[in-house]
Amino acid sequence: MSLDPQFSGGDRAVIKLFGAFLMAVGGLIVLLCGLCSLGVVGAMITGVVQAGFAHHANLGSSSIVIASLATTIAMVAIFGGVPGLCGLAVFLWGRNLYRRRPGRE
């Protein structure tokens, strides 16, 4: 190996492979967080609609529905948003490694 800091040959292939693995893992994290968040919000909306039909559209105060929706959105943002952003960061890091040109460090 030469002392040149630029990657070439097999080193470049390993960096591209690692970047591809990071993109795959980051993409899976984002996909699963999004699907889980969609399921939670869908279940909440379904519950409100079912409660409305069960009580003949008498949900009581609309502030209860708004508070329930706000709580669900906050839970989704915390438990789905933070890991989703981490997955996005991993994906972008992998894409950066995959696309890196040999002259860049």
Spell out the residues 6+ positions from residue 92 whose beta carbon is closer than 8 angstroms to its own.
26
- Predicted local distance difference test score (pLDDT) of residue 2: 46
User: Could you give the dihedral angle defined by the CA atoms of residues 69, 73, 75 and 76, in that order, rounded to the nearest 10 degrees?
Assistant: 130
Residue 43 tokens, joined: 């279940």
> pLDDT band at 1, cuts 50/70/90?
very low
Q: Is 58 helix (H, G, I), strand (E, B) or coil?
A: coil
Spell out the residues 6+ positions from residue 50 whose beta carbon is closer than 8 angstroms to its own.
none
* Rounded Cα gap, residues 85 and 105, in angstroms: 25
20-43 pLDDT, tens digit each: 999 999 999 999 999 999 998 888
54-90 pLDDT, tens digit each: 665 555 566 777 777 788 888 888 888 899 999 999 9
C-alpha pair distances (Å), 83 with each of 27, 29, 30, 69, 90: 12, 7, 8, 21, 10
> pLDDT band at 19, cuts 50/70/90?
very high
